[in-house]
């Protein structure tokens, strides 16, 4: 794999609110949607389909399933690290923003963290929409210059002998971190393992803790 992108040393039925009052941003979104619909600028069916996609079909739960499969299936893990795009597609996750994927593995001696310095390129099919801090200029610039310092701000303190690798996504190539499997999970099922995996761990700004007993 080339190191080109790596730097060494993340209508009412549209939104399920239940019975709670709408927040100010939700009210604004609803009003904007109504105006655009009345002017014929958007298709409500298309909006419904888009929202359903991001609520049910893409998101960190997909990436978590990929990680859990890699933890329990050594052959799948080898395929995932060799050709992330193809292996992820085996589980049904592909498409826009996920066409070309590279998966990088955290180990006892190497910790990986993701960024997009140019904009906010992000693997939507496996991680969903990027968090606000991932798109913010301070993260995008500082994680390249001082990755350890940024990770500390996320509560992640790495030993000095752990190498930090920062992977810079582009419009052509996106990355996902394969976190280390937490100790004490040997008896968990694949589904239970997937429930432990977080978005931040797959970006690389967090480590996964052992499940509470």
Task: Let me know: does 190 contact 69? Beta carbons within 8 Å.
Answer: yes
Token readout for 20 is: 């709670």
| Per-residue burial over 9-19, b = 16 or more CB atoms within 10 Å of its CB, e = otherwise | ebeeebeeeee
Q: Please, which residues bridge with residue 65 across strands?
A: none
Query: Which CATH number is correct for 59-203, 3.40.50.720, 3.90.330.10, 1.10.10.10, 3.40.140.80?
Result: 3.90.330.10
Per-domain residue ranges of the chain: 18-56, 59-203
Q: Which residues are catalytic?
A: 116, 119-121
Angle between helical axes of 60-72 and 74-82 (0-180°, round to 10): 120
Q: What does each C-alpha distance from 174 to 95, 99, 122, 169 come to in angstroms?
A: 12, 8, 6, 5
For the chain, 213 residues long, give each residue's pLDDT as a single digit of tens.
545 566 665 344 344 445 567 677 667 767 777 777 777 777 766 655 545 545 445 579 999 999 999 999 999 999 999 999 999 999 999 866 557 899 999 999 999 999 999 887 899 889 988 999 999 999 999 999 999 999 999 999 999 999 999 999 988 899 999 999 999 999 999 999 999 999 999 999 999 999 876
Stated pTM of the model: 0.75
């Amino acid at each position: 794999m080339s190191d080109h992108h790596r730097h060494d040393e993340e209508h009412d039925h549209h939104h399920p609110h239940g019975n709670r009052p709408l927040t100010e941003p939700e009210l604004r979104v609803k009003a904007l949607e109504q105006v655009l619909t009345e002017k014929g600028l958007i298709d409500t069916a298309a909006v419904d389909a888009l929202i359903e996609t991001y609520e049910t079909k893409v998101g960190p739960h997909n990436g978590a399933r990929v990680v859990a499969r890699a933890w329990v299936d050594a052959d799948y893990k080898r395929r995932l690290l060799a050709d992330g795009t193809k292996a992820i597609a085996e589980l049904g996750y592909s498409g826009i923003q996920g066409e070309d994927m590279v998966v990088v593995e955290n180990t006892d001696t190497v910790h990986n963290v993701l960024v997009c310095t140019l904009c906010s390129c992000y693997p939507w099919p496996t991680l969903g929409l990027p968090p606000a801090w991932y798109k913010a200029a301070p993260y995008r610039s500082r994680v390249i210059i001082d990755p350890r310092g940024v990770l500390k701000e996320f509560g992640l303190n790495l030993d000095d002998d752990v190498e930090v690798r920062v992977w810079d996504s582009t419009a052509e190539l996106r990355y996902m971190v394969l976190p280390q499997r937490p100790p004490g999970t040997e008896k968990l099922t694949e589904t239970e393992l997937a429930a432990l995996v977080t978005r931040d761990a797959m970006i690389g700004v967090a480590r996964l803790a052992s499940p509470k007993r």
